Amino acid sequence: MMPPAVVIVGRPNVGKSTLFNRLAGRRAAIVHDTPGVTRDRQETEIQAGDLVFRLIDTAGFDEAETGSLAARMTEQSLVAIGSADVCLLLIDARAGVTAGDDILAEAIRRTGRPVIVAANKSEGRTTDISDALRWGFGEPVPVSAEHGIGISDLFEALAPFVAKAEYEDDGPEGGDATQPLKLAIVGRPNVGKSTLFNALLGEERVLTGPEAGITRDAIAVEFEAAGRAFLLHDTAGMRKRARAAGQPLEQLAVGSGLTAIRFAECVIVVVDATQAFEKQDLAIADLVIREGRAVIFAINKWDCIEDRAGAVTALKEERDRLLPQIAGAPLIVVSARTGEGLSRLLPAVLAADRAWNSRISTAGLNRFLARAVERHPPPAVRGRRIRIRYMTQPKARPPSFALFGTQLNALPESWMRYLANELRSRFDLAGSPIRFSLHNSKNPYAER
């Protein structure tokens, strides 16, 4: 695979060639003192620490010619920008932000590519460049291409878009479909867990065989459905209880529920449609989430609901309001007794399992992050901006994300929830808990 592309964009004479040569680690070969001297587009491959990328210098903005600067962006430059993994918009810190910079920034924004702004010629006396913040591309990285200052900061800013993720090796993408998916059914007493358990397995299988053998030997039963093998945890002898019709039902102690949750990859939380999302339901769901398992809500006894219009929407609203930490998790209305809706349950489990196993590329994550921050910037803390430089996904099962930047501990809960919800909708993570770790980064790249 080709290394990711970093495309340098900037007005004539801001120092693109000089920076290109500096990043490439070689003496300036072709630098022009005359603005607008045309030259060929340069491209080189750069390796620095664990970064590998193609550096592309766009030429072709000629201020001597007529027409708007944007109109004069050559076809070739626009193509280069459009295919960039990240654009490096270079401005001149001595000249300040000019109308030409504004036009370039706008043209780049329209391509939707992530952007890092660098303010060159920052080695000495500089002009106020705070106007660059209006673009929403974040704070410019001060550099001096000529004097080799700030280059490591620039590499650090580029890292999220060009660094390879260091993944833990815990299975192939989307989980190992050749292994049975471990599933558990939990919920407060009397919501219909045993009935659902038996409905999923098929009555006849459950009712055969000597009683003692069934209930004592196995803690889980295997079955196949929806094109996949499942291993279903038999919590507190659900099969036995289901058969003991008319007997008083034992309580599902949280203890046995916890064993089931820890056994499982995906957990079906059964909720009684006639008394949905009560305190105990929430406590159980919260436990499943804290244990890091995928969650699917089965709203059971749907046959008891007469007024169904708008009921599902209301349930989903309640789910997101009361359990924002798993907003959007699959919610399937079923009747374990009549079988209604049951065919939709296991496909929802498979979707949640896919979400739970998801791995997202670092480049994809950072394109996402740039937009999420642009749309809804984190607040300033004591007048200082919280700066999120980049994010990676160090592990799956459940998806866990590492954020790197400064003052990250000051990120409010509400913003983290926003980020989690954006991640869920952008990368189809519904049903999976999402974990974050915050790293206030030090600079790992040496000056060069």
* Binder of ligand GDP out of 123, 139, 153, 318 (CB under 6 A): 123
User: Minimum CB separation from ligand GDP for residue 229, in Å?
Assistant: 24
Cα 242 from Cα 111, distance rounded (Å): 60
* Binder of ligand GDP out of 2, 27, 33, 213 (CB under 6 A): 33
User: Minimum CB separation from ligand GDP for residue 274, in Å?
Assistant: 9
Residue type, 416: M
Helix axes 99-111, 75-82, angle to 10 degrees: 50
Contact between 145 and ligand GDP (CB under 6 A)?
yes
What are the residue ranges of helices labelled H in 248-402?
A: 254-263, 279-290, 311-322, 345-356, 362-375
User: Minimum CB separation from ligand GDP for residue 160, in Å?
Assistant: 24
Contact between 304 and ligand GDP (CB under 6 A)?
yes
Q: Which of residues 82-121 bind ligand GDP (CB under 6 A)?
A: 120-121
Cα 97 from Cα 131, distance rounded (Å): 6
Quickly list DSSP for 375-441.
Answer: HSPPPEETTEE-EEEEEEEEETTTTEEEEEEESGGG--HHHHHHHHHHHHHHHT-TTS--EEEEEE-
User: Minimum CB separation from ligand GDP for residue 413, in Å?
Assistant: 33
User: Minimum CB separation from ligand GDP for residue 365, in Å?
Assistant: 31
Q: Which of residues 3-32 bind ligand GDP (CB under 6 A)?
A: 10, 12-18, 31-32
Contact between 205 and ligand GDP (CB under 6 A)?
no
Q: Say whether 371 sits in a helix, a strand or coil.
A: helix
* Binder of ligand GDP out of 100, 138, 140, 187 (CB under 6 A): 187
Identify which of residues 32 and 216 has a Cβ nearer to ligand GDP in the complex: 32
Q: What is the CA radius of gyration of the chain?
A: 28
Identify which of residues 32 and 205 has a Cβ nearer to ligand GDP in the complex: 32
Residue in 175, 165, 176 with CA at minimum distance from that of residue 361: 165
**Site map 337..366 versus ligand GDP, x via CB under 6 A:** x-----------------------------
User: Minimum CB separation from ligand GDP for residue 130, in Å?
Assistant: 20
Residue in 193, 185, 238 with CA at minimum distance from that of residue 214: 238
User: Minimum CB separation from ligand GDP for residue 406, in Å?
Assistant: 25
User: Minimum CB separation from ligand GDP for residue 300, in Å?
Assistant: 5
CA 440 to chain centre: 19
Burial 155-190 (b: 16+ CB within 10 A, else e): bbbbbbbbbeeeeeeeeeeebeeeebbbbbbbbbee
CB 320 within 8 Å of CB 328: yes
Contact between 72 and ligand GDP (CB under 6 A)?
no
| Residues making contact with ligand GDP (CB under 6 A) | 10, 12-18, 31-33, 120-121, 123, 144-147, 187, 189-195, 249, 300-301, 303-304, 335-337
